[in-house]
Amino acid sequence: MIEFAVALTLWLLILSASGTVATLVAGRWAKKAGFAMQLTMFFLSLAVIELMGGPQRFGLVPDFRYVPQAVVLGFGASLIINLLEGNPSVPMEEFMPEGVERLVLLLILAPLGEEVFTRGLIEGYILGYGHFWSAILFSALLFALPHWMAYEGSKKRKIVAVGGAFVLGSLAGYLFALGGIIPAIVLHSSANLAGLIVLRFKEKNGN
């Protein structure tokens, strides 16, 4: 259907532009590449959303009804996924900032940028055509695919990363379809927090 082709094209264009900006920034400031990518993704998505009908047409409205469920689902599912992985890691360690900057990137900017992009723009566009589950699963797949390149290590680790991202993306997509962008962002942030906690625990115990 044409709406899926349009959504895929938008995804490729914004992802490519964001990746290009991140690559240029990484050439001089490697630890700033993630910030550059997320901010570019966020502002480009907002611009396209505005051009194609505005925030309300894409579900970018303030709705806090499903925030408690988002916290529980995001943290719980991510905790299970990271524990099953056995040796959790953060994406592309050489490009990942440290300390407070890492927390800002993973708990605020990444959830904001990636959710406005994959849920707000991509899923919101498809939902506008009356699709429900296909919009959720399609956006979850597009959310998961970049994790193959973002995570270093064996093929098994990459598969786990993509599979885990698909599960979390599906949960975020479901909450987005029910309650808009806020619970999707909260779920993403909670999931990243769980991953950081498991990683720190593993590091402290020498695993």
Domains of the chain: which residue ranges? Answer: 2-204
Taking only the tens place, the pLDDT of each residue in 41-53 is 999 999 999 999 9
Would you report the helix, strand and coil content of the chain in percent, each value rounded to 5? 80, 0, 20
Tokens of 90: 């953060």
pTM of the entire predicted model: 0.92
Per-residue pLDDT of the chain (207 residues; tens, 9 = 90+): 899 999 999 999 999 999 999 999 988 888 899 999 999 999 999 999 999 999 999 989 889 999 999 999 999 999 998 887 755 555 556 667 888 998 999 999 999 999 999 999 999 999 999 999 999 999 999 999 987 776 666 677 778 788 889 999 999 999 999 999 999 999 999 999 998 898 887 667 655
| Angstrom distance (rounded) from CA 67 to CA 106 | 18
How far from 106 is each of 3, 86, 90, 91, CA to CA, in Å?
Answer: 31, 20, 9, 10
